[in-house]
A and B are shown apart, each in its own frame.
Chain A
Amino acid sequence: MELDFLATVLLSSLSSASILLIATLGLAVVYGLMGVINLAHGEFLMVGAYSALTATQIGLPYPLAIPFAVAMTMLIGATVELLIIRKLYGRIFDTMLATWGLGMVFNQAAVLIFGTVSPGIGMPQWNFQIGDYSLAFYPIAMIFVAAVMLAFVYFLMTHTVYGMKARASIQEPQMAQAIGIDSSRVNTMTFAIGCGLAGFAGAILLPIIPATPSMGLFFAVKGFLTVVVAGPVALTGSAITALGLGGGASVTASFMTSVVGDVFFFLMTALLLWLYPLGISANWRRKL
């Protein structure tokens, strides 16, 4: 096997893994800090993509469309938290069912508003060569975006007042309340940030994955698996799991078909869960 082919496969697999991480991070934040699995996460991603698409269609340049998408999804996320999630604290499976229903509502609403097919926006046409192979620049740039996103979330959680309150609320909810942290407001914020990250993912990935009402599902499924395999230390765990599983599945897919890649992903998760029934980070000492 030639070196340039190997490098190409590795680089594009790393890029797929990064894309998975970008799409999953919001889910991981909500799960890690609220203990809630948001089954509508994929649909928030879709809302972000459509928001960015609509913004570019009315004339906004793409770099400005991204913050618009983030603002939209954060707003919707905060509303959902206030109206639904808040009523279901401590009932994780009810929360899952409710967000599942919400996802279907979003999905169907998108079908009604935008139809099932919509125009993509062109990918910046920059390519570069590795040996005989030509690679598109934009997907490779996602490796960098994923790293920046991870660093941003880490900074948000460790170096801001909100982050400290959020971590306090999840570790000792009663103690956090006793020292005056309004944990329900912190939770609204956390949920909004999680949805905002999903919106960001939808918008930044728009040139690669065109907006369709069901686009979120593909990512969401892998995202759910990534987060539960990661376990309680959601952030670091998800980063490692996304790299391992996403990269592995992508390598498999590039040698065989994408369906085989999906099957590989599922079987690997099943195996990991067999070995670590509560997630790989169940016994870690770090908490973020």
Chain B
Amino acid sequence: MFEKLHSNAGLIFPLIVAGAALAFSGALDPYLAFVATSWVIFGLLGLSLDVIWGRGGFLSLAQTAFYGLGGYLGAVIAINFAPSLGLSLLWALPSAAVFGALIAAALGYLIFFSRMGELQSTILSYTFTLLLWSVTQTFKIDIGAAVIGGDNGLSNIPGIILGVGEEAKKLKPNAAFACVVFISAVVYFFTRWLMRSNFGKIVDCIRIDIEKTELLGYDIRKFQVLNFAYSGAVAGLAGALFALWANYLNPSIFSVQEALLVPIYVLVGGLGTLAGPFLGALIIGALSFWLGGGAAGGQTTLILGAVLILLVMFLHNGFLGALDNLWKRYLPDPNDAARDAGAVKIDTEVLDQILSEAAEQAGPAKNLSTDEAFKSFGGVIPVNKVSREFKPGKPYSLIGPNGAGKSSFLKTCVGIYRPEGGTILLDNDDITRAQIFDRVHKGMGVKNQKPQVFGENTVFENLWIAAFARTKDRAAADETATRILNMLGMEAQKAVQASALSHGQQQWLDIGMVLCLAPRVVLLDEPAAGMTNEETRELSLLVRTLAKHTTVVVVEHDMEFVRTLEGHVTVLHQGNLFAEGDIDTLRANDAVLDIYLGRGEHV
């Protein structure tokens, strides 16, 4: 009962609060209703940041830019249409939202499609806002009846008008408050739905581990731009509401003081909670309303600056985050199941069946070949003109001492490292310059050295998001994920957060995610690390079965494991192909022993 309430808290409590606000809106003091309307609008602005920062993981300081631009456009449209046609909301809000989304999409395209660094992105978004601040100071233009007068601002913006025609009057403060609460509630519930949809799940994964999300085959750049555009739309809509509420706009909407408020709302309420920004705006607004009239009024910025410092240092989860942690203490811990995990048992028949079905859907296994692949980091050359072909049938093992370039070779094949020379082919398809997600689409499945799982998500969600990347269909993804889950023997851990699993279990989960992709070429980097002897035996069975259906390349240090694979073995040394053969020939090879033990002339 309480667990159900907890998981639906974001639906039920906001519904109660919005309902109460609507019910009592008529009874409020008109002046309070007028001021409180602005708090709700600021909450909406905070929500726009929470979408891109709390969910998308990108701290955008450009939210007030979209907000201000949406406000200006909405105001210009309302001024020109509302006096004769009425219904200011219908004209202003959609156009402002679309405008905000377009500007955000343009900025987002620049940031995400160039794969800009995090810091670079945040600073660029900040300076975009400040550039608008400086440009609008002197920007003067008349658009129809609207006069944008630089730092004189834009006045005569009509209020919120719901009626139609010339006679329509603007709403009184109490009705305007109810109207804004209703619109914000609609936006909030839509955002909540969006963030729980498949789109939102992928956005969450991008925040948790962007590289892994791309390795599952999602074009992360598109999701990031779309999410940013959505946040821009919400900000633009909030801006138009603000313009109609204030009846006046000036360039200070783009100022640093204004921009500073947005992360404060989000941090006070709780990052990533969606409802938090509204609470944050309410708390900050109410505090300055009841305290700000007095001596503290002039020092609002000073106090807010100090509040931001304290929040960042001491209350990073915000109000709702802290409440959530407290509540969770009284609920049963779903991660308890992680402690009594059963042993993994690979059933080759089930695996064979899964893999042959995958072959039917995704096509036959592909060859992976490199021709003179070359990668250097300054003076270090981890991949030095390696030419090698990998075919299905038997697993390939790459061995070599530390620093031999094994992982770098895999990463170059996958596209995490961009090679400086040579070509990489998937069958006859040149993928040397292809994006990572594109290679995954074409059939590559990769497990990196460190197990990469989405720690905040449950085991099942991890498998599901991988299966969904291939199937693009909810039901099919459910089915695939369930089968892999059962094969890994992790049914009991289905609802456990992946971060609660042991290192070995995370390895299995990561391998399971790769299997969900039904890859045509599988690259595994040290899959046996952290596994028990029994688990290593099962893994060996899995790799051998896998190799019958697809091309498999394994990087491994565990020689016993490599021996049980009974496949081709390639020794790498200082970025070069050093020796090849089966494990027993190599064991007898003096040169190989030399580089492993660090003796003799081959070092």
Residues of A within 8 A of B (CB): 37, 84, 87-88, 92-94, 96-98, 100-105, 107-109, 112, 217, 221, 224-225, 228-229, 231, 259, 262-263, 266, 269-270, 273-275, 277-279, 285
List B contacts of A104 (CB < 8 A). Answer: 256-257, 260, 301-302, 304-305, 308
The answer to whether A98 touches B308, judged by C-beta atoms less than 8 angstroms apart, is: yes
Q: Give the distance to chain A from B276, nearest Cβ to Cβ, in Å.
A: 16
Assuming the contacts A87-B313, A88-B312, A101-B312, asked whether A224 and B260 have C-beta atoms less than 8 A apart, the reply is no
A223 CB → nearest B CB, Å:
10
Q: Is the CB of B120 within 8 A of A97?
A: no
Within 8 A of A (CB), among B280-305: 298-299, 301-302, 304-305
List chain A residues, Cβ under 8 A from B435: none
When the two chains form their complex, are residues B263 and A97 in contact, meaning their CB atoms are under 8 A apart? yes
| B307: interface (CB < 8 Å) | yes
A98 touching B260 in the complex, CB below 8 Å, given contacts A103-B305, A259-B134, A270-B110: no
Q: Which of A94, A100, A101 lies in contact with B316, CB distance below 8 A?
A: A94
Whether B320 sits at the interface, judged by CB under 8 Å, is: no
Q: In the complex, A80→B540 CA distance in Å?
A: 55
Contact B308–A262 (Cβ < 8 Å): no
B118 cross-chain contacts in A, Cβ below 8 A: 92-93
Do residues A98 and B313 form an inter-chain contact, with CB atoms below 8 A? yes
Whether B116 sits at the interface, judged by CB under 8 Å, is yes
Distance to closest chain A CB from B512 (angstroms):
31
Within 8 Å by CB of B128, from A92, A105, A266, lies A266
Residues of A within 8 A of B130 (CB): 217, 221
At the interface, is chain B mostly helix, strand, loop or mixed?
helix
* Selected contact of A273 from candidates B124, B305, B378, CB within 8 Å: B124
Determine the chain B residues whose CB is within 8 A of the CB of A105 once the complex forms.
302, 305-306, 309
In the assembled complex, the CB of A35 is this many whole angstroms from the nearest CB of chain B, namely 9
> B114, B119, B313 — which one has the most chain A CB atoms within 10 A of its CB?
B119
Q: Given A224-B123, A279-B120, do A98 and B134 touch, yes or no (CB 8 Å)?
A: no
Task: Using CB atoms, name the residue of chain B closest to A35.
Answer: B119
Nearest residue, chain B, Cβ from A227:
B123
Bound form: Cα–Cα A225–B61 in Å: 14
B532 contacts partner chain A, Cβ-Cβ < 8 Å? no
**A221 and B134 alpha carbons, distance in the complex (Å):** 11
Contact of A93 with B59 at beta-carbon distance under 8 Å, contacts A84-B309, A88-B313, A269-B124 already known: yes
B 235-280 contacts with A by CB, 8 A: 256-257, 260, 263, 267
Considering the chains assembled together, what is the distance between the CA atoms of A280 and B116 in angstroms? 12
Bound form: Cα–Cα A259–B301 in Å: 27
- Render B310-336 as a binary contact track against A, CB cut-off 8 A, 1 for contact: 001100100000000000000000000
Which chain B residues border A102 with CB–CB below 8 Å? 305, 309
Q: Give bound CA distance, A92 to B312, whole Å.
A: 11
Bound-complex Cα distance A128 to B444 (A): 68
CA distance A100 to B307 in the complex (A): 11
B135 interface contact, C-beta 8 A = yes
| A112, B299: Cβ atoms closer than 8 Å | yes
With A93-B118, A285-B379 given, name 19 new contacts (CB 8 A). Answer: A93-B122, A94-B316, A98-B309, A98-B313, A100-B305, A101-B304, A101-B308, A104-B304, A105-B306, A108-B305, A112-B299, A221-B127, A228-B120, A259-B135, A262-B135, A263-B131, A266-B131, A274-B110, A277-B115
Q: Is B144 an interface residue (CB 8 A)?
A: no
Measured between C-beta atoms, what is the minimum distance from B257 to chain A in Å?
7
Contacts of B115 in A (CB 8 A): 277
CA distance A263 to B312 in the complex (A): 32
- Inter-chain contacts of A229 with B (CB < 8 A): 120
B117 at the interface (CB under 8 A from A): yes
Contact B114 A98 (CB under 8 A): no
Contact present for B114 and A285 (CB under 8 Å)? no
- Nearest residue (CB) in A for B138 is A259
Residues from chain B with a CB closer than 8 A to the CB of A37 are 119, 123
Q: Is the CB of A101 within 8 A of B124?
A: no
- Quick check: A277 and B312 within 8 Å, CB to CB? no
Residues of A within 8 A of B66 (CB): none
B316: A residues at CB distance < 8 A: 94
Name the CB-closest residue of B to A266: B131
Q: Is the CB of B131 within 8 A of A278?
A: no
- Which 6 pairs from chain A and chain B are nearest by CB? A101-B308, A104-B305, A105-B305, A108-B302, A101-B305, A277-B116
Q: Closest B residue to A214 by CB, please name it.
A: B256
**Which residue of chain A is the closest to B59 with respect to CB atoms?**
A93
Nearest CB in chain B to that of A91: its residue = B312
B126 contacts partner chain A, Cβ-Cβ < 8 Å: yes
Bound-state CA distance A87–B256 (Å) is: 25
Provide the residues of chain B in CB contact with A221, threshold 8 Å.
126-127, 130
Q: A231 vs B119: C-alpha distance in the bound complex, in angstroms?
A: 10
The listed residue with most A CB atoms (<10 A of its CB), out of B138, B267, B302, is B302
Interchain CA distance A103-B309 in the complex, whole Å? 10
Complex CA distance for A262 and B135, rounded to whole angstroms: 9
A-B contact pairs, 14 of them (CB 8 A): A37-B123, A93-B59, A96-B59, A101-B306, A102-B305, A104-B302, A217-B130, A228-B120, A259-B134, A263-B135, A274-B114, A278-B117, A278-B120, A285-B379
The docked-state distance in angstroms from the alpha carbon of A274 to that of B110 is 7
Residue of B nearest to A105 (CB): B305
CA distance A221 to B123 in the complex (A): 9
With both chains docked as a complex, state the minimum distance between the C-beta of A254 and any C-beta of chain B, in angstroms.
Answer: 18
The answer to whether A262 and B302 touch (CB under 8 A), given A37-B123, A97-B263, A104-B256, is no
Asked if residues B308 and A100 are in contact (CB atoms below 8 Å), the reply is: yes
Residues of B within 8 A of A262 (CB): 131, 134-135
Measured between beta carbons, the chain A residues less than 8 angstroms from B313 are 84, 87-88, 98
List chain A residues, Cβ under 8 A from B305: 100-105, 107-108
Task: Indicate the member of B114, B138, B316 with the most A CB atoms within 10 Å.
Answer: B114
User: A92–B127 Cα gap in the complex (Å)?
Assistant: 18
Question: Would you call B301 and A108 a contact (CB within 8 A)?
Answer: yes
